Amino acid sequence: MDCAFTTTHNAVSATAITNFYLSKKSSNFRFFTVKCSNNLSAGLVERPWKVADARLVLEDGSIWKAKSFGARGTQVGEVVFNTSLTGYQEILTDPSYAGQFVLMTNPHIGNTGVNFDDEESVQCFLAGLVIRSLSISTSNWRCKETLGDYLAERNIMGIYDVDTRAITRRLREDGSLIGVLSTEDSKSDEELLKMSRTWDIVGVDLISGVSCKSPYEWVDRTGSDWEFNNNGRSKETFNVVAYDFGIKHNILRRLASYGCKITVVPSTWPASETLKMKPDGVLFSNGPGDPSAVPYAVEAVKELIGKVPVFGICMGHQLLGQALGGKTFKMKFGHHGGNHPVRNLRKGCVEISAQNHNYAVDPESLPKGVEVTHVNLNDGSCAGLASSKMKLMSLQYHPEASPGPHDSDTVFGEFIQLMKQEKVKA
């Protein structure tokens, strides 16, 4: 079995490897693999840390040399770090990452390749991917393609061999930073730095670039392996209108599995049209960017509150907060990952959750009668809202997971129950 040095430190002694490198300085020697039999026979494959061919220039003036994979060119975006251990493909296809570079803190990425089943939308909307180590082989029975080929086909830039831990520490200390990723030697560092300092993500409507253009029906359900609880299920069918602010497919799949008949509508769909469709409930989806940049969406939410049961997820939760008269604010570096502890204040339990957001609702700004139902235990920020009088509920995080833990799946059952109560009253 051939093993790459990066993943088989234990196969040969570190000293032997170091000595081996010190003795090999010839220019045509580019990489080496070792036979696990302790025999240091060298193959001629690419050295993972060979000369950098990409730069990530951050707005704080730091320059990070790296190796390029996927698409080439120059791209600007906001750098955020994601602490998920698995699920890079679902992260790449989460439309909420539009305008952002996702830096994975898990150092080894690409080892399961990509497949046709794990897509969360029809496109990759993110600005690019930043990783420590790109797996040199893929090993998964569902794998159809390598991560590098997948990104190149979708024109998404990626870099590896960059110190993701150092960048993450910087982001935690200084907050999210704008960066420019470039493989173009013709562009000077100063040019890239200027680009990063003149671009902004705050106040930009990113939803209009990711939402569907016309309504469509959704029928797909999740597979049987998702059927681990029946909490809140009902034999009835509920008609749900889902606002697509950049909706993740697993929200739709989970709603369908819970018995919803779903019509997905564009972000600009008028509330009056939604009411004409006589839905049992309305879902406001996740979506990219600044909730204050989409007043048209806040207006639609405002017009629907109180008239029909509503459920907001992530961006949908933030828009609900604003529609109620509350304020949203930009967090220092946000929450991105599959390991965020949340206290469910109603049940008194802790749920480990999947999160992806840079903005949050200020609970102090909300009117009386709106209950904070969930709190993020890492920083005490508001993670969920409800008002039975106004028939609304929302979560700042991702109960549909994909990727992430399934602890909060039962919230879909709570939405079913909210719709059911209204049906009984009618």
Ligand X SMILES: NC(=O)CC[C@H](N)C(=O)O
Q: How far is the CB of 80 from ligand X (least distance, A)?
A: 8
Q: How many residues does the chain have?
A: 426
Closer by beta carbon to ligand X, 78 or else 118: 78
Distance CA 426, CA 424 (A): 6
Q: DSSP states of 198-234 as a string? A: H---TT---GGGTS-SS-EEE-----GGG----TT--
* Site mask for ligand X (CB under 6 A), range 93-112, x = bound: ---x----------------
Q: E strands, 44-113, where?
A: 54-58, 63-70, 74-82, 100-104, 108-109
Q: Which two tokens stand for residue 221?
A: 């359900």
Minimum Å distance from CB 96 to ligand X? 3
Which CB sits closer to ligand X, 293 or 305? 293
At 344, give phi and psi (nearest 5°).
-85, 105
**Residue span binding ligand X (CB under 6 A) among the ranges 264-272, 275-283, 350-358, 400-408:** 350-358
Query: CB count, 10 Å around CB of 44?
Result: 11
**Stretch of 105-113, 226-234, 260-268, 357-365 contacting ligand X, by CB under 6 A:** 357-365
Instruction: Count the helix, strand and coil residues of the chain and give each as a percent rounded to the nearest 5.
Output: 25, 30, 45
Q: CB burial class (10 A; 0-12, 13-18, 19+) of residue 186? A: exposed
- For CA atoms 297, 300, 304, 309, the dihedral sign is negative
* Cβ-based nearer residue to ligand X, 286 or 408: 286
The token pair at 372 is: 């904070």
Cα dihedral sign, 15-16-19-25: negative
> Which residue lies nearer to ligand X by CB, 35 or 330?
330
Q: Contacts with ligand X: how many residues (CB under 6 A)? A: 11
Stretch of 110-118, 251-259, 273-281, 352-360 contacting ligand X, by CB under 6 A: 352-360
Tokens at residue 247, please?
């909706």
DSSP code for 278: -
On whether the CB atoms of residues 378 and 341 are closer than 8 A, the answer is: yes
The least distance separating ligand X from the CB of residue 168, rounded to whole angstroms, comes to 18
Q: Which is nearer to ligand X, 70 or 291 (CB)?
A: 291
Give the active site residues. Answer: 314, 398, 400
Region 268-287 residues binding ligand X, contact defined as CB under 6 A: 286-287
Minimum distance from residue 248 beta carbon to ligand X (Å) = 8
Alpha carbons 368 and 166: distance in angstroms, whole number: 43
Choose between 41 and 123: whose C-beta lies nearer to ligand X.
Answer: 123
Tell me how far, at minimum, the Cβ of 414 lies from ligand X, in Å: 19
The rounded Cα 44 to chain-centroid distance in angstroms is: 37
132 near ligand X, rule: CB under 6 A: no
Residue nearest to ligand X (CB): 314
Q: Ramachandran region of residue 334, left (φ > 0), alpha (ψ -120 to 50) or beta?
A: left
- Spatial distance between the Cα atoms of 424 and 309, rounded to a whole number of angstroms: 13
Q: Does 288 participate in binding ligand X (rule CB under 6 A)?
A: yes
Judged by CB under 6 A, the residue of 289, 312, 338, 404 near ligand X is 289
Radius of gyration, alpha carbons of the chain: 23
Q: Which of these ranges, 53-61, 169-177, 254-262, 355-363, lies near ligand X under the rule CB under 6 A?
A: 355-363
Candidates 68, 356, 394, 402; binder of ligand X (CB under 6 A) is 356
156 versus 314: smaller Cβ distance to ligand X:
314
- The DSSP 8-state label assigned to residue 71 in this structure reads B
Q: Does 315 bind ligand X (CB under 6 A)?
A: yes
How many whole angstroms separate alpha carbon 209 and alpha carbon 78? 17
Measured from the CB of residue 291, what is the shortest distance to ligand X in angstroms?
6
| The one among 89, 208, 358, 373 contacting ligand X by CB under 6 A | 358
Among 343, 357, 374, 391, binds ligand X (CB under 6 A): 357
How many CB atoms within 10 Å of residue 264? 21
- The residue type found at 38 is N
The answer to the question of residue 403 lying near ligand X (CB under 6 A) is no
Q: Which is nearer to ligand X, 134 or 251 (CB)?
A: 251
* Shortest distance in whole angstroms from residue 130 CB to ligand X: 18
404 lies in the binding site for ligand X (CB under 6 A): no
CA distance 299 to 294: 9
CB of 119 to ligand X, least distance (A): 16
Near ligand X by CB under 6 A: residue from 243, 359, 412, 415: 359
Q: How far is the CB of 359 from ligand X (least distance, A)?
A: 3
Which of residues 125 and 150 has its CB atom nearest to ligand X in the complex? 125
Positions that interact with ligand X (CB under 6 A): 96, 286-289, 314-315, 356-359
